[in-house]
Chains A and B, each alone.
Chain A
């Protein structure tokens, strides 16, 4: 009887510890400046290879979303949870954005040639073919220099009129977002 009573007294503290641990875990967000998680499909890796060089100097973690095709139903949420630890989730190509279309990122998302179905703290689309819809404010630029006055404080679609400059414009967008 005595033991039962003392265990009743201890229980609230243990529960409290658990609750506090969860709250603390939710509240602390680890971020290292300028780090990316790039999510792309092998099917669209040409797009990634074409812009990869422009991110030299940044820490980039590459993830092939094709791995999700054979994973269980919880794998996608785990990948998103991991991506949220980075400053930016870089979603490359239509296939990656299709696979991740119902994922809610808790970080800034930059979609390159991606479908307009991404969701994050902020989403910036870079397209050469006008794929995303009109939910974001739209601008057209030919090179990185033209980004100068572009407002990136909200969801934006940037149409790149000269596809050769996709990489440098991506680098420029990242630079602007980091400010």
Chain B
């Protein structure tokens, strides 16, 4: 057996270099941070006010150029000190023309802009805006996150880009597995259990839409369709876009999520302003959870509902002492309206975030951010929760970000 394996090694070593030309290119990024929340909820699983130090992400991009028109592209992400390893994307990219990109496999969902710009070295704040955490499941806010970080999905996407006289126009159409929940009755069937013994179900999480990560198979035969149009002007550094998502989330393929979003970015060399707004219409049937694990709860007491989220962010490099070395101030305001009419949700919030970022080397930065949250729905909180939780938790975070 050992001899056979050795032969296989040698055979491969001889044959593979002679196979059709291909080139492997790699790069990556990572970040480590310290985070401390004040007034955060004490969940049954963990106290969110406890501080943490972690290697948040360490990521490798691998691109293999098979031919002039075919590239195999992947992003392998090791998150949370390496305890979560996931393929953020992995797809075959066919480019018969520079203006035509066809992706097959697992790719970043082209909805709004943040999802495709989320890496820490591309952003000015570590925390994610609510359009990402509530509508598009870019960062899963669930404390028990087990899957990858990033909204990517399986399917096919076709993107056409046209560089004209006044700007660049991009149109993307993707057919993907889509957002899903195995529960046929309620999309927001998540639970948040507080350590103080508040009864399960008394809190309606509605902590964001759920990514179908169970596997490559869809949970129904109804694929989701995502369409997006982006336009970037030449005369001023202004870009804007319109996104649309539609697909059924339940196993029976009867209940739809429909999302619409707009995004805009103004990027000067030292000043940038960006915003996203999105709304999600969720069809849902009222009733008890079918598995009987939970009692009839407010989670399923209402039928269809609409969520909305937005953010506006501005960054200013107030000190630039070389092209790649600078200090930047960042401010962001974001809001999530979970539109819960029945029960308290701690995820119906507004946040203000201030940050300062120092790019002290060409490929690494230090960043500090402070965030103030206001839980708008606090008046409806069960008394046990209201006693132990503040309506205005805050958080601060210091990060080291690097890329290569």
Q: How far is the CA of A9 from the CA of B73 in the complex (A)?
A: 29
A70 within 8 A of B: yes
Per-residue CB contact flags for chain A residues 53-81 toward chain B (1 = under 8 Å, else 0) read 00000000111101101111110011011
Per-residue CB contact flags for chain B residues 1-23 toward chain A (1 = under 8 Å, else 0) read 10001001100110011010111
Whether B17 and A28, one on each chain, are in contact in the complex, defined by CB atoms closer than 8 angstroms, is yes
Q: How far is the CA of A25 from the CA of B25 in the complex (A)?
A: 9
Task: Across the interface, name the chain A residue whose C-beta is closest to B13.
Answer: A20
Chain A residue numbers with a CB within 8 Å of B122 are 73
Task: Across the interface, name the chain B residue whose C-beta is closest to A80.
Answer: B25
Task: Across the interface, name the chain A residue whose C-beta is closest to B15.
Answer: A24
A27 within 8 A of B: yes
Whether A43 and B16, one on each chain, are in contact in the complex, defined by CB atoms closer than 8 angstroms, is no
Q: How far is the CA of A123 from the CA of B394 in the complex (A)?
A: 49
Chain A residue numbers with a CB within 8 Å of B212 are none
Q: How far is the CA of A49 from the CA of B108 in the complex (A)?
A: 36
Task: Across the interface, name the chain A residue whose C-beta is closest to B171.
Answer: A70
Q: How far is the CA of A12 from the CA of B8 in the complex (A)?
A: 11
Whether B8 and A77, one on each chain, are in contact in the complex, defined by CB atoms closer than 8 angstroms, is no
Interface of chain A, main secondary structure: helix
Whether A85 and B68, one on each chain, are in contact in the complex, defined by CB atoms closer than 8 angstroms, is yes
Give the interface size bracket for A toward B.
35 or more
Given the interface pairs A20-B13, A78-B73, the reply to whether A84 lies near B23 with Cβ below 8 Å is: yes
Whether A81 and B9, one on each chain, are in contact in the complex, defined by CB atoms closer than 8 angstroms, is no
- Identify which of A9, A29, A66, A117 gathers the most chain B CB atoms within 10 Å of its CB: A66
Given the interface pairs A17-B12, A26-B23, the reply to whether A81 lies near B65 with Cβ below 8 Å is: yes
Of the candidates A13, A22, A42, which one forms a contact with B24 in the assembled complex, judged by CB atoms under 8 Å apart? A22
Given the interface pairs A20-B16, A42-B163, A82-B68, the reply to whether A77 lies near B168 with Cβ below 8 Å is: no
B117 within 8 A of A: yes
Q: 17 additional contacts, CB 8 Å, given A20-B9, A26-B23?
A: A12-B5, A13-B5, A13-B8, A20-B16, A25-B22, A25-B24, A27-B17, A28-B23, A42-B234, A66-B163, A66-B232, A70-B161, A72-B108, A78-B63, A84-B65, A102-B324, A106-B25
Identify 27 residue pairs between A and B in the complex whose beta-carbon atoms are under 8 Å apart, listed by A's number.
A13-B5, A13-B8, A16-B9, A24-B13, A24-B19, A25-B23, A25-B64, A26-B23, A27-B17, A28-B17, A28-B21, A29-B21, A42-B163, A66-B163, A67-B99, A67-B161, A73-B117, A73-B122, A74-B63, A74-B75, A77-B27, A77-B63, A78-B73, A81-B63, A85-B23, A101-B323, A106-B25
